[in-house]
Amino acid sequence: MFTRKTLLKTTSCLLLLACILLGSFPQINHAEEDLLDFAEKSGFPVKEPYRPKASIVIDADSGQILWEDQPDLSWSPASIAKVMTMYLAFEAMEQEKFNLDTTVTATEQYVAISQIYALSNNKISLGVDYPVRDLFSMVAVPSSNVATLMLANLVSDNDEADFIRKMNDKAAELGMSNTTYFNCSGAQISAFDGLYQAPGIDPNGENKSTARDLAILTYNLIKKYPDILQFTSKPVVKTMPDTPYEETFETYNYSLPGAKYGYDGVDGLKTGSSPTGAFNYIATAKKGDVRLIEVILGVGDWSDQAGEYERHLAGNAILDHAFSTYEYKKLLSKGPNTIDQKEIILEQDFYGFIKKNTEPSFTLKDGQLALKSDYGQVSPEIPVQTVSYQESEPKAVDNESVKKNTRQPSTTKNADHNYLVSSILAVFGILLLVFSRVFRKRVAGVRRGSRKTSTTTTRLLFTVGVLLILSAISVWIFL
C-alpha cells in the first residue's frame, strides 16, 4: 500500500519526467538586451554587418556602466588616439606651460606633412603662426594629423618620442590597463614619410586600446577639462577666421544636432577610422542633468565606406537605449532608512542611476552605503558613489505585541493554494490530451490507407498530458 511519502516521491518523479520530455523541444533564447532589437525600436536601425565589435556607455559623473558589449576587446582606435594628445595638451595648459592663444609657427616639416595625401590633414602655410585654439579645432574636427603633431611637439618641446612615453604613462595613471600608444595621431609613424621621428619607438607599431579604456580616458577628460567640448560640439567650424588662412570644416561626427544623424544632446567627441580599426566613435551627450559617454569600436569594414555613417546609427541607438532604460533620481532620503532589515540613518539624500520601474538594492560597508549596479564601475580607479550612514539604536521589543501581530499560518489559504495548483495541472494535462487527439486525426487524414496514425509528437503530447493529470490528482488528494 502506498504511503503519503511514497506518493509524493512518485509525483515528484512524474513532474521531473514531464520537465525532461518538455525540455526535448528546441528552446529559443532571447537575450535581455540586443542591439539590433532596440535599435529598430529607437528609430536608428542597425544592420548585422554594422554591429560594433565593442561598445560601452557610462555615466559621465559617476563612471557607472549602463551598457557594455565586449568592452575589453583589444582594438585599433585609429584617430581616436588624438583624444589622448588633446588630454595632454589641456594638462600642459593647466600647468601653465602655454595657453589657447599661444602660437606654433609652421615649419617646412609641418608644411610637408600637411601635403601627404594618405593622411587626413588641413592646409598649413610656411611661417604662419597657428594659435593653440585653432590647432584644437583642426585636431577635433577634420582630424588633422599635422595639427596633432604640432600640438604634441608643443607639449614635449619637440621631443616626439618623449611625448609618446607621456601618452603611455598617462594611460597607466588613469587605469587604462589595456592601452598602448606608438604614435600621437592614430596614423603609424611610418606613414609620415620620414617626417615624424621618434627614436626608440617602433615606427610600424599600431596603437591598441579597448572600449573600456577609451571610456575611462573620456571620463577623465570631460571631468578635468570640460572646455574640450567647445571644440567638438559644432557641426561646422572655421579655423584661422578673418585671415588669409581661414578654412571651413564639416564634422565627421554625424550625430551632432544639425548633422546627418543628429541626436539631441550630443556635443562631442571624436571619430576615427583605419583599414585595421574600421570605423570607431566616441560620443558624449547631455539631457537635463545627465551626461553619458559612449565608445563604439569596429563598425563595418574599411572596404565599405558606409561604415562612416552606420557607426552613428549604432551610436545613437545605444545612447537612446541608455537614456530611455535608466533614470537618475533620488533613491533614499536623508535620515532614517531600513536597508536589508537594518535600521540606518543617512547623513544626506542619496541619488543614483537605476533601470526604470525597478527597485534599487544597496550595500552597507564600513559606514558607507552604495548602490548595487548591473555592470559596476568602468574602472576600479573610479570609486562607487557612496553616502555615509550610522546604525540606529535597536528599539525595545514588546513580546506581547509581537505575539498579537504575528500572523499564524492559514490552513484554509494553503488548501486553496493546493486546489489552484492541482486545477492548473489538470487543465494543462487535458489540453495536451486534446492536442494529441487533434494531431492524430490530422495525421490520419494525410496517411489514408495506413494504420499508423500516431507520431512522436502526438505520443509525447499524450504522455505529458497523462503525467500532468496524475500529478494534479496527487496534489489535490495528499498535499
Q: How confident is the model at residue 8 (pLDDT cuts 50, 70, 90)?
A: very low
- The share of the chain scoring above pLDDT 70, in percent, equals 79
More confident residue, 413 or 216: 216
Burial of 220 (0-12, 13-18, 19+ CB in 10 A): buried
Same domain, 211 and 349: no
Question: How many separate helices (H) and strands (E) can be counted in the chain?
Answer: 12, 16
Average pLDDT along the chain: 84
Residue 284 sits in the same domain as residue 379: no
What is the domain range of residue 424? 413-479
Same-domain check for residues 148 and 217: yes
Tell me which of 3-12, 78-87, 322-331 is least confident: 3-12
DSSP tag of 251:
-
Q: Are 270 and 253 in contact (CB under 8 A)?
A: yes
Please give the pLDDT value at position 431. Answer: 74
Same structural domain, 150 and 192: yes
Query: Is 356 marked as a binding-site residue?
Result: no
Residue 360 included in any domain: yes
**Angle at alpha carbon of residue 343, lines to 340 and 348, rounded to 5°:** 100
Helix, strand, coil shares of the chain as percentages rounded to 5? 40, 20, 40
- pLDDT surpassing 70 at residue 439: no
Residue pair 212/72 in contact (Cβ under 8 Å)? The answer is: yes
Q: Is residue 29 part of a domain?
A: no
Q: Which of 41-45, 120-124, 213-217, 282-286 has the lowest average pLDDT?
A: 41-45
Q: Assess whether 300 and 347 both reside in one domain.
A: no
Catalytic, 474? Answer no
How large is the C-alpha radius of gyration of the chain? Answer: 32
Same-domain pairing of 221 and 149 = yes
For residues 386 and 462, membership in a common domain is answered with no
CA dist., res. 100 & res. 116, Å (int): 27
Q: Is residue 4 part of a domain?
A: no
- Cβ atoms within 10 A of the Cβ of 349, count? 12
Q: Give percent of the chain above pLDDT 90.
A: 62
Is the same domain home to 160 and 129? yes
Report d(CA 180, CA 460) in Å as an integer.
Answer: 59
Dist. CA 135–CA 344, nearest whole Å: 54
Given the residues 55, 82, 422, 474, select the one marked as catalytic.
Answer: 82
CATH number for 42? 3.40.710.10
Cis peptide upstream of residue 269 (ω within 30 degrees of 0): yes
- Sorting pLDDT into bands at 50, 70 and 90, what band is 32? low
Active site residue 79: yes
Give the CB-side neighbour count of residue 46, counting CA atoms within 13 A.
25
State the DSSP string of 79-141. GGGHHHHHHHHHHHHHTTS--TT-EEE--HHHHHHHT-TTS------TT-EEEHHHHHHHHHS
> H helices within 199-306, ranges in order?
211-224
Q: State the DSSP code for 258.
A: T
Residue 117 in any domain: the answer is yes
**DSSP code for 405:** H
Q: Are residues 146 and 294 in the same domain?
A: yes
**29: exposed, middle or buried (Cβ count in 10 Å: 0-12, 13-18, 19+):** exposed
- Look at residue 475 and tell me if it is in a domain: yes
Residues 173, 271 within the same domain: yes
Specify the pLDDT at position 421: 65
69 and 191 share one domain = yes
Contact 99, 132 (CB under 8 A): yes
Q: How many domains does the chain have?
A: 3
Is the pLDDT reported for residue 404 higher than 50? Answer: no
The verdict on residue 19 lying in a domain is no
pLDDT tens across 209-261, in order?
999 999 999 999 999 999 999 999 999 999 999 999 999 999 999 999 999 99
H or E segment and range at residue 418: helix 411-446
Which domain-ending residue is among 396, 431, 452? 396
Mean pLDDT, residues 255-281 taken together: 94
Count of CB atoms situated within 10 Å of the CB of 254:
23
Residue that is last in its domain, among 264, 293, 326: 326
Residues 6+ apart with CB under 8 A from 261: 44, 254, 255, 309, 312, 313, 316
Instruction: With a cut of 70, say whether residue 397 has pLDDT above it.
Output: no
Return the pLDDT at 462. 75
- Grid cell, residue 120, equals 587626413
Q: Same structural domain for residues 382 and 434? A: no
Q: Answer yes or no: is 204 within a domain.
A: yes
pLDDT digits (tens, 9 = 90+) for 280-318: 999 999 999 899 999 999 999 988 989 999 999 999 999
Query: What average pLDDT score do residues 139-144 get?
Result: 95
Residue 13 lies in a domain: no
Interval 369-373 mean pLDDT? 90
- Give the CATH number for residue 366: 2.30.140.20
Of 278, 299, 326, the last residue of a domain is 326
The cell numbers describing 105, all together, are: 609657427
